[in-house]
Structure 1
């Protein structure tokens, strides 16, 4: 079955290696039996630290879980000390790469030009960018849509064809007590979806204090959720996966009626 919802988790740098392995084992057991992941109606990806990628690939082997990386270099090979090649990430079995997260922009001075170059590098190596898009300040929904669509188009300027995952993460909602309002998310997500309508297999998901109930509240405007610390509790993650499964079922029913 073609995926009709997407759920992703970025572990950032919260887990040590042993703790990550324990989390992988628990989540892999769930992914191996969760009917919506097994039948492919819900796409599920996990993005650990670089050092944890090997352990994640091993743990999730035999499930449909996609293992990702939190960043990649804009070049495939060469004298770039400390960088990680997108070509090598593809070689070891990584499927998605997070690009342009607000923390990369803020802490490591990644400009729109850098994000553009990394997006192109990920796509040319057959990987799917998890392209993080979001306005810094809280704006009216229509204004936020205009700004984020411009940001998205800039990131894809000159990039090869290929599917991606657009992660709408308004910077003002990251780490906040509550996510952005459902109506705001829906307005921006619909605009982003229209902007990538020419890229088959592309999803628009929401991140930024996301949790259970949000996917249902936003409705069909988004394709899924991008989770952070909330997913450290496996029970929370299961609740979101169950909600995504229902989201996928409703979309399947609508498509057949």
Structure 2
């Protein structure tokens, strides 16, 4: 008998967050431009998500309707309803058309004191409301010795992963965004060898949980043109920052990821 064909590869994943860089008109203009990329996204056979601010989620959902491009949110609270002034309900996010929710970004952890336990509670709420958590993980420490750097990264990221996953249903889809804290906002992304080695070890951590749900790992942290080509054998996609705030740059990365 001829050998069986390899199982189909999961679709690559590409996304970007606008953080708080744009005002309202600029955000809506950007979302309209991203919607025009739908044919390129389909041709590249990837999943694309975009994460605007909370205020523009509803009009953004309208602009992205029918494009296949996923709408994300930058955070969520861990409860659906209640006296939690200023927080955003995961139930309402789902009702607004959100499918991906970013959680535990290094800025949230540093500026607002979010812990692994906080992120885990939010991730559980996101899954409970039918959305996919995009859980940001990454090491603060950086070693100039390559062999030590990978071990440090894995040791710091492992509890972030396990704490989040242990509170989720076994079959829940999860996205992990590996973003070395020291590489966020830097002039260059982390080295390809480092990223691939770390992600391989993080996949082993996930596999050790024997989960049935899909877990995709993307790289973020000063990712830009040419980054995916160096990492394609190790990661499932990219989570872009300010580079992708120029839609033409985002389009270039979509082309780079085509048929990858």
Q: Same fold (TM over 0.5)?
A: yes
Q: Is this contact kept in 2: 1:5–1:245, CA < 8 A?
A: no
After superposition, what is the alpha-carbon deviation per residue over 1:212-244, rounded to whole angstroms, capped at 9, x for unaligned? Answer: 111111222100000111011111101111112
For the 8 Å contact 1:206–1:226, the answer to whether it is kept is: yes
Matched, 1:246 2:259: yes
| Residue in structure 2 matched with residue 255 of structure 1 by the alignment | none
Tell me the residue number matched to 1:228. 241
Output the CA distance in 2 between the equivalents of 1:120 and 1:59.
28
Relative to the length of structure 1, the TM-score reads 0.90
Measured on the aligned residues, the alpha-carbon RMSD in Å equals 1.6
Structure 2 residue 232 is matched with structure 1 residue 219: yes
Count, aligned residues: 244
User: How far apart are the structure 2 equivalents of 1:89 and 1:200?
Assistant: 22
Is 2:32 the partner of 1:25?
A: yes
Q: Which residue of 1 aligns with 2:106?
A: 102
Q: 1:142 to 1:199 in 2, by over 3 A?
A: farther
Question: What are the Cα deviations for residues 137-186 of structure 1, in whole angstroms up to 9, with x where unaligned?
Answer: 21411321232122211222222230111000110000001000001100
Instruction: Indicate the structure with greater helix content.
Output: 1
Match of 1:119 in 2: 123
Say yes or no: does 1:167 pair with 2:177. yes
Aligned to 1:143: 152
SS of corresponding position for 2:36: helix
Per-residue deviation, residues 175-214 of structure 1 (Å, max 9, x unmatched): 0010000011001111222333424332100000001111
Equivalent residue for 1:250? none
- Aligned with residue 165 of structure 2, among 126, 148, 156: 156
CA contact (8 A) 2:14 2:239 kept: yes
Instruction: Answer whether contact 1:131 1:165 (CA < 8 A) is retained.
Output: yes
Change (3 A) 1:92 1:120: same
2:58 is aligned to: 54
Question: 1:40 Cα shift?
Answer: 7.6
Aligned partner of residue 221 in structure 1, secondary structure: coil
TM-score of the superposed pair, with normalisation by structure 2 = 0.89
